[in-house]
Amino acid sequence: MLERETERLIVRKFTKDDWKDLYDYLSIPEVVKYEPYDVFTKNDCIEEAKSRAYEQRDMFWAVCFKKSRKMIGHVYFAQLEPDELKTWTIGYVFNPKYYGNGYATEACKSILQYGFKVKNAHRIVAGVCAENKPSWKLLERLSMRKEAHFIKNIFFEKTSEGKPIWNDAYRYAMLSTEYDG
Ligand SMILES: CC(C)(COP(=O)(O)OP(=O)(O)OC[C@H]1O[C@@H](n2cnc3c(N)ncnc32)[C@H](O)[C@@H]1OP(=O)(O)O)[C@@H](O)C(=O)NCCC(=O)NCCS
């Protein structure tokens, strides 16, 4: 299934031409603050869009406006090993121009439905930095259950002496039996 439709959005597989829309948001430091990578250059985005269109095709979904087809963010959805646990992880990054309208919620709901109804997932999980309130609020809007609070287990920055600045993290989850979509 290459394309999913929601009320306002198309959630589809990446094409190599998506690099420009990807650059619009992956080049912004605040957007990648809690991601395991730094800001992307234009060239990085050209390579990344190609990779998401081919090698990483299964894992990334581009989220676009239904009318203009502008890509406004993406959802990451990948199966964790071993396969027999039937567990997927979900992640998301959106263009800040479009925050505050429920687009991320709408796109992630569609991917949860894909996970439970099409992929037959037993469990879908998400990890989030405790400081990243917009992200854990999104997980709560999706009715995911907070099941762990890890103390100072991750860092996204280092001090000038090169020491990690530790952060707490939460894990959220939803079981197929909890899904009511
Ligand atoms: C995480 C992220 C996607 C959340 O974006 P967002 O705009 O807050 O999320 P949504 O698109 O679901 O919009 C929800 C907001 O719109 C409001 N809203 C308006 N219309 C809405 C609707 N129809 N449905 C749901 N919410 C709606 C909600 O009340 C909420 O606003 P609030 O936070 O002021 O209460 C965004 O902050 C982001 O991309 N951050 C950078 C990347 C990142 O950190 N990713 C996560 C790493 S773990």
- Which ligand 1 atom is at minimum distance from the Cα of 129? 48
The alpha carbon of 159 and the centre of ligand 1 are apart by a number of angstroms equal to 30
Tell me the per-residue pLDDT of 86-123, one tens digit each, with 9 for 90 and over: 999 999 999 999 999 999 999 999 999 999 999 999 99
- Please give the pLDDT value at position 22: 98
Contact 130, 140 (CB under 8 A): no
**Chain centroid to CA 67:** 22
Tell me the per-residue pLDDT of 83-95, one tens digit each, with 9 for 90 and over: 999 999 999 999 9
**pLDDT at 1 > cutoff 80:** no
Mean pLDDT of 5-24: 98
- Using alpha carbons, select from 163, 32, 45, 149 the residue that is nearest to residue 95: 32
Write down all domains in the chain, each with its CATH number in brackets. 3-178 (3.40.630.30)
Tell me the per-residue pLDDT of 150-175, one tens digit each, with 9 for 90 and over: 999 999 999 999 999 999 999 999 99
The alpha carbon of 73 and the centre of ligand 1 are apart by a number of angstroms equal to 11
The pTM of this model reads: 0.97
Contact 170, 146 (CB under 8 A): yes
Contact 93, 31 (CB under 8 A): yes
Contact 51, 115 (CB under 8 A): no
Ligand 1 binding pocket mutation candidate from 105, 137, 144, 150 (most atoms within 8 A of CB): 105
**pLDDT at 72 > cutoff 70:** yes
- Please give the pLDDT value at position 2: 80
Residues with CB under 6 A from ligand 1: 31, 34, 91-94, 99-105, 128, 132, 134-135, 137-138
Give me the torsion for CA of 53, 33, 144, 91, rounded to 10°. 10
DSSP character for 114? I
Contact 6, 107 (CB under 8 A): yes
